[in-house]
Amino acid sequence: MKVFLIAGARPNFMKIAPLVRAAGDFPQIGCTIIHTGQHYDYEMSKAFFEDLEIPEPGYYLSAGSGTHAQQTAHIMTSFEDLCMQDKPDLVMVVGDVNSTLACSIVAKKLSIDVAHVEAGLRSFDLTMPEEINRMVTDAISDLFFVTEESAVKNLQQEGKKKERIHLVGHVMIDNLYHQLKLINVNGSEEFSTMRVKKENPDYAFLTLHRPSNVDSRENFIEITLALNEIAKDRPILFPVHPRTRKMMDVHKITLSDRVILLPPLNFKESLYLWKDASIVLTDSGGLQEETTALKVPCVTLRDNTERPITVKMGSNKLAGTRKEGILKTYRLMMSRDRSSFRIPPKWDGKSAKRIWKVILSSC
């Protein structure tokens, strides 16, 4: 069985890694990685593959930058040529980026089955490009692999057949446990952040990159005011996304000296920091889930989340983007007992194997 596994942006690489590793246990599956080039710095994306210990992609489509429409169109035309040439039996897409949308549309128009990993998640916020990508991809997919019960409910309400919806857990958590094991086995001497971690005990960990937060001067300033207040309690380790760095200059953002700015980090080095943080502050979807798996308190700097299970489990809470809301939520999460946090069903590091078993049984 010939499967095309689509990766386009950094979160995709982390999600396909467990699928590639698990595919080795199933000789019936021939799995080819298609790198769309949505993350268009190829040298940087090569580092992701090395860090995640997965092979080089079979094909690189060079999508490059541009508007959402330009990028999606480029991926579609390049991927169509590839599908017509190699004729895969199944196209597997992950997450909710433009590559997910583009490749699923192309596959269906060529009568190739589509499997969507991380299907059914909804923020119900159509101002988010990712929400549109999720909805359209799920509208045409054949198999739905979901991470949590809310996604099952969403898909059923949208009319999807029960037998095509599979609650398998989360491949992102598979990757998390794999990388955590490597850190525990190999130690942390290789990490450039080892010193800053030792010198700043009881720290908070921050990620901030969402356009609605950093492109909006009003939102960015409100978040900054809250961060500077939190920094009075504890240092904040902040690996700065290139987009965020640019907008800090544009908006003339001034952070406390106790907000320690770090360069962008690979997955493993980021995990090395946040796994031991007193609290995580983030606008990332993936980090909401990963902190839930390790029972690390998380404050989400957004008004909504497509991952409500993280809130239900007790480890995550939405704070919005206003100073007072962020501070109130921060204090609440710092007061919670971690032992009361729970981990969602099937977030056990075995999701990728479940996915391949379902696919083989569906052939």
Q: Which residues are catalytic, by number?
A: 209
Tokens of 175: 């990757």
Tokens of 201: 């005990």
Whose tokens are 């690489």? That residue is 13
User: Smallest Cα–Cα separation from 153: which of 126, 104, 125, 119?
Assistant: 119
- DSSP secondary structure letters along 290-320: HHHHHT--EEE-SS--S-HHHHHTTSEEE--
Q: At 97, which helix (H) or strand (E)?
A: none
User: 28: how many CB neighbours lie within 10 A of its CB?
Assistant: 10
Confirm if 27 and 1 have CB atoms less than 8 A apart.
no
In the chain, the amino acid numbered 228 is N
Confirm if 143 and 113 have CB atoms less than 8 A apart.
yes
What is the rounded distance in angstroms from the CA atom of residue 356 to the CA atom of residue 174?
14
Q: How far apart are the first and last CA of the chain?
A: 9
Q: Where are the alpha helices (DSSP H) in the chain?
A: 10-23, 42-52, 68-86, 98-109, 129-140, 149-157, 171-186, 194-199, 211-214, 217-230, 242-251, 267-274, 285-294, 308-312, 323-335, 351-362
